[in-house]
Amino acid sequence: MRRRDVLRASAAAAALPFAATTASAQQSAFEPLGVLDLDGTKEVVVGDAGETAYVATTDGIATVDISDPSNPQQLASVAPLLADREDGPMRMVYDVKLDGETLIAVGPANPTQGETVQGVVVFDVSDPADPEQTGFHETDFAVHNAYLQDGVAYLTANDGAKNPIVMVDVSGDTAEEVGRWSSVDHDERWRDVYAGLRSCHDVYVHEDTLYVAHWDAGTWLVDISDPANPEYVNHFGHYSVEELRDIPTGEAGAESLSVPGNSHYVAVNEDASVLASGAESWDVDTDDGDPGQGGIDLWDVSDPQNPEKLSFIAPPPTPNGTRNGTWTTSHNFEFRGDRLYTSWYQGGVKIHDVSDPASPEELAWWRNPDEARFWTARYATEEAFVAGDMGGQTYDAGVYTFPNRAGEQPDPPELQTTAVATSTATETTAAETTTTETPTAAEASDESGGGAPGFGALAALAGASAAALAAWRNND
């Protein structure tokens, strides 16, 4: 049987009646409940009932029945997207977001070489087995990530100048832009900061507040009670605008891959009193005491004007945590109740008890770096949570389900594996110099395999020459 068939067989066996002592051992063992192979898996979100997962599949979307977590089944696939357009299909579909019965898919995640359709595709998923495209809004920028709330899509729009968030009303028959927000509009000094250090990587919305993961510029809070007129609330992080302005262009690429900084993903708990900000980094020089990979900061934001850092969740340790080694840096995550569900690429997935956010407690951790590289972790039901596996060059991508409880992985493997290919042309640090083959235009645009990490454009920029960086900024 294939690896994932073995996992299914193990899950089925676990359901058989055993003696009380064996049942207790099964309860403490933390392993996948089921796995569905699904090419191109990136972001995964879950419907309100916890019975359906919605997946960005790089070339489109898929829906997955997870009502039986031990046997996830694909319901439908819509791919490739917008293939009938002259500049179609849409490529690098890395993100989907769900609000009620409306799903959006955005792309391409990174700027491409050559013309390709860009924007947000809208679906009616009232019948998850038959998604119906109901709209499309074309943009003049690549869309790496998005959020959807109350009919408004919030899109990352990194243009190299203002790097704004763009608000698009997708509730009607014709989707249309209704507003924009940019740190540059708030304070002109940000324009002088190298664009890759203030990239808007991801967004999250809770009620009337937009939370922006603004890379080294930190985490920003914006009032969107009127999406057409967003207003600055506050921002916080590791660097001031003056410090970032002083970083020379030639050093900005290396800085963008190093901690501290790198606000990559942000989310808040259910009453927005606690905010988690995850960093993404592959620092090869850890002599300064910082972990080479990015972790997660927990903040008290009950008073948005006076945020207070509460704690830090360290990344899983790795002996070769560069972009060419084992990735254990933080990626996407989700709060639900007193728990935080996290993904760490080859570092696996974890559950933390954050009932005391000043002292988070790890409840469960599963990893297998030679078989899975996780993009996200999402709550499904009281019994299970879901994780998206982006796959690698020697193993499949897909959707995993895990028990939603504490436990320990039996015989966990070492966090060291074969190198992961990247699309970086040349990566230079004080510690080492690594040269990899420069991809062709087609290869740079097709990252369904090992490819670039969560923010391929930024990572590629970090390895480019100063001239190429300047050209990118001018072109955008």
Q: How confident is the model at residue 292 (pLDDT cuts 50, 70, 90)?
A: confident
Listed in sequence order, the residues at least 6 apart from 452 whose beta carbon sits closer than 8 Å to its beta carbon are 110, 422, 423, 424, 459, 460
Share of residues in the chain with pLDDT > 90 (%):
71
Please tell me the predicted confidence (pLDDT) of residue 112: 87
DSSP H or E stretch at residue 232: strand 231-236
pTM of the model: 0.85
Helix extents (H) in 65-222: 183-186
Q: How far apart are CA 304 and CA 287, in angstroms?
A: 34
Q: What is the CA radius of gyration of the chain?
A: 21
Interval 322-345: pLDDT, tens: 677 889 999 999 999 999 999 999
Cβ neighbours, 10 Å, residue 141: 19
Least confident of 13-22, 113-122, 299-308, 377-386: 13-22
Q: 198-225 as b/e, with b when 16 or more CB fall inside 10 Å? A: bbbbbbbbbeebbbbbbbbbbbbbbebe
The conformation of residue 408, written as its DSSP 8-state character, comes to B
Interval 368-401: pLDDT, tens: 999 999 999 999 999 999 999 999 888 999 999 9
Q: Are 35 and 398 spatial neighbours (Cβ–Cβ below 8 Å)? A: yes
The phi, psi pair for 417, rounded to 5°, reads -150, -170
Taking residues 31-53, what's their average pLDDT?
Answer: 98
Mean predicted lDDT score pLDDT of the chain: 84
Q: By CB neighbour count within 10 A (0-12 exposed, 13-18 middle, 19+ buried), where does 76 fall?
A: middle
Q: How far apart are CA 154 and CA 177, in angstroms?
A: 10
Taking residues 403-419, what's their average pLDDT?
Answer: 87
Q: How far apart are CA 217 and CA 239, in angstroms?
A: 7
* Structure token pair of residue 331: 């990626």
Cβ neighbours, 10 Å, residue 26: 15
Please tell me the predicted confidence (pLDDT) of residue 321: 64
Taking residues 216-229, what's their average pLDDT?
Answer: 98
Residue 291, preceding peptide bond in cis (omega within 30° of 0) = no
Please tell me the predicted confidence (pLDDT) of residue 114: 76
Query: Which domains, and CATH codes, for the chain?
Result: 3-475 (2.130.10.10)
